[in-house]
């Protein structure tokens, strides 16, 4: 079943309080204006009898409400279901992930159903049950809200906005925008006032957010040539595929004010923003529920604990293998050498981010001696080559897919054991409930000052943190 909607009186109380805990989980449509808002909106409070409540923006738009220009529903964090799901719910979530990328301008229910290996009728049924709208209604809302964000926050020409948001033509984009928002795209840009001085994405999250903790986790792991972590920002190079093309460039995510992250992109990455946007949200864990996570971690937890993810699963998987049985500093050194040897240069990149992480194709063609010459032991070099060679055929190489199936496929590869697979799930899949088996630091941390706990006691002690054991791992590592 979809995320539960609050009783109307409770939803109205959340609206009165501008309660950020419900941001992205609750939208209010105001019948007197035809506008829908986030619960954090600061416009004049509507009368209770004029309010209709929804759990998703797509539901509000399906009822012909238009997004508020003040609170901007396109900025809201997502509502994630971190519970164990049955097969139908898992498929519905995978379908939404595929649609979120706004990548296929000719996307159809039939094509998505083929991609998932189910019938289109079954897809419509499970999608409606999970998300409250049809797949095409969901897709149209995602595209229009992305376009609205780009029109407001970027200097992209309207035609480029249309294509970046996943529309097949400018004509189709203009027609859809006018039909849903009763406004020409160019008029929306004029309503926003003068052109923005620089093109940046604004991404919202639910406070609190442990900015210092996230940066402290990422800084010692930043790979020379690829990433740079500063006092309030992360800059890095990136290559990704979108709409059948490879796009390479750089980005900078800056924590400028509470509740939002500003992301600057190189001009080469803007055309791929439809695929990049969900990756950014996962990378910085912007859709997390800090209250639920805090309750699972207990009194010793840091408010706003986040689980840093990744922008490239292959990169994260390689770095996990390089980090086996060595310190964080040693793994970083090895990764820097790896990038210097096999990574491509990136022109006009910020300082410290002038190379791209090596591609699976480049590593698949390398020899054991090529990799071992960097100080990487032979068995690990074999693992990296096997991972790269298998990558194009692995279902988990794409962004959708169940983490349990990914763990099974990962451990079938040579040199990747349960600990490494669990770490990959934590950060590559942003899976909230992974717990690396046999971790020495965690065994000590769970011993309450005594000798390291037994393997059985270790797993039993971790149960208290479900369904957020991945967050507990970072919390316990940090304490140690």
Residue with tokens 């994630």: 80
Catalytic residue among 100, 285, 287, 439: 439
Neighbouring residues of 354: CB distance < 8 A, sequence distance ≥ 6? 225, 237, 345, 346
pLDDT at residue 94, rounded to an integer: 84
What is the per-residue pLDDT across 321-359, written as a single tens digit (0 to 9) for each? Answer: 999 999 999 999 999 999 999 999 999 999 999 999 999
pLDDT tens digits, residue range 349-396? 999 999 999 999 999 999 999 999 999 999 999 999 999 999 988 866
The pLDDT of residue 55: 94
Q: Is the pLDDT of residue 276 over 90?
A: yes
Q: Where are the alpha helices (DSSP H) in 203-312?
A: 211-218, 273-283, 290-297
Pairing mode of beta strands 233-242, 51-54? unpaired
Question: Could you tell me which residues come within 8 angstroms of residue 137 by beta carbon, excluding any fewer than 6 positions away?
Answer: 58, 61, 62
**Report field, pTM of the whole predicted structure over 0.85:** yes
- Sign of torsion, CA 451 452 456 459? positive
pLDDT of residue 386: 96
Task: Look up residue 377 and give its two tokens.
Answer: 């032991």
Q: Which of 87-91, 351-355, 422-426 comes out lowest in average pLDDT?
A: 87-91
Instruction: Please determine, for residue 34, whether its predicted confidence score (pLDDT) is greater than 80.
Output: yes
Say which residues have a Cβ less than 8 Å from residue 49's Cβ, sequence separation at least 6: none
Domains and CATH numbers, the chain: 8-75 (3.40.10.10), 87-191 (1.10.10.60), 211-420 (1.10.340.30)
Catalytic site residue 104?
Answer: no
The one catalytic residue among 23, 37, 71, 433 = 37
Tens digits of residue pLDDT in 172-231? 999 999 999 999 999 988 765 545 556 899 999 999 999 999 999 999 999 999 999 999
Q: Name the H helices within 182-264.
A: 185-191, 211-218
Q: Per residue in 40-59, is it b (16+ CB within 10 Å) or e — as a string?
A: bbeeeebeeeebbbbbbbbb
Confidence of residue 104 (pLDDT cuts 50, 70, 90): confident
What percent of the chain is modeled with pLDDT above 70? Answer: 95
pLDDT computed for residue 233 by the predictor: 97
Confidence of residue 108 (pLDDT cuts 50, 70, 90): confident
Task: Examine the pLDDT at 2 and tell me if it is beyond 90.
Answer: no
Maximum average pLDDT range among 62-76, 81-95, 108-122: 62-76
Residue 439 falls in the annotated catalytic set: yes
pLDDT score at 403: 74
């Amino acid at each position: 079943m979809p995320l539960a909607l609050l009783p109307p009186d409770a939803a109205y109380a959340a609206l009165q309080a501008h309660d950020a805990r419900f941001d992205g989980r609750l939208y209010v449509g105001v019948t007197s204006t035809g506008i829908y808002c986030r619960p954090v909106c600061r416009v004049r409070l509507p009368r209770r009898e004029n309010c209709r409540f929804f759990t998703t923006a797509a539901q509000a738009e399906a009822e012909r409400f238009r997004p508020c220009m003040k609170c901007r529903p396109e900025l809201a964090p997502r509502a994630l279901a971190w519970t164990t799901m049955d097969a139908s719910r898992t498929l519905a979530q995978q379908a939404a992930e595929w649609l979120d990328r706004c990548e296929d301008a000719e996307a159809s229910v039939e094509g998505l159903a083929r991609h998932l290996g189910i019938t289109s009728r079954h897809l419509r049924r499970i999608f409606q049950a999970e998300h409250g709208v049809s797949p095409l209604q969901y897709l149209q809302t995602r595209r229009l809200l992305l376009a609205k964000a780009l029109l407001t926050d970027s200097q992209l020409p309207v035609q480029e906005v249309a294509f970046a948001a996943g529309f097949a033509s400018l004509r189709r984009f203009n027609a859809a925008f006018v039909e849903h928002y009763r406004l020409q795209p160019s008029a929306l840009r004029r309503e926003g006032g003068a052109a923005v001085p620089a093109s940046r994405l604004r991404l919202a999250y639910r406070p609190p957010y442990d900015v210092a903790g996230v940066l402290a986790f990422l800084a010692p792991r930043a790979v020379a040539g690829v990433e740079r972590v500063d006092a309030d920002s992360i800059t890095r190079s990136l290559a990704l595929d979108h709409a059948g093309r490879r796009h390479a460039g750089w980005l900078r995510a800056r924590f400028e004010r509470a509740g939002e992250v500003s992301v600057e992109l190189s001009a080469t990455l803007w055309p791929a923003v439809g695929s990049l946007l969900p990756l950014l949200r996962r990378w910085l864990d912007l859709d997390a529920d800090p209250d639920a996570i805090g309750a699972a971690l207990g009194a010793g937890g840091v408010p706003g604990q986040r689980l840093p993810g990744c922008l490239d699963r292959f990169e994260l998987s390689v770095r996990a293998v390089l980090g086996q049985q060595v310190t964080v500093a040693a793994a970083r050194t090895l990764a820097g050498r790896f990038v210097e040897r096999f990574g491509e240069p990136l022109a006009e990149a910020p300082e410290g981010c002038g190379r791209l992480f090596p591609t699976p194709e480049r590593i698949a063609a390398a020899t054991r001696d090529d990799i071992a010459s960097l100080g990487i032991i032979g068995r690990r070099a074999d693992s990296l080559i096997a991972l790269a060679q298998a990558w194009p055929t692995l279902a988990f190489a794409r962004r959708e897919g169940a983490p349990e199936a990914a763990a099974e496929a990962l451990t079938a590869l040579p040199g990747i054991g349960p600990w490494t697979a669990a770490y990959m799930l934590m950060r590559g899949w942003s899976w909230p409930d992974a717990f690396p088996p046999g971790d020495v630091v965690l065994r000590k941390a769970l011993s309450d000052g005594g000798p390291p706990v037994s393997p059985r006691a270790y797993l039993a002690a971790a149960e208290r943190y479900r369904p957020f054991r991945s967050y507990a791992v970072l919390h316990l590592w940090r304490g140690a």
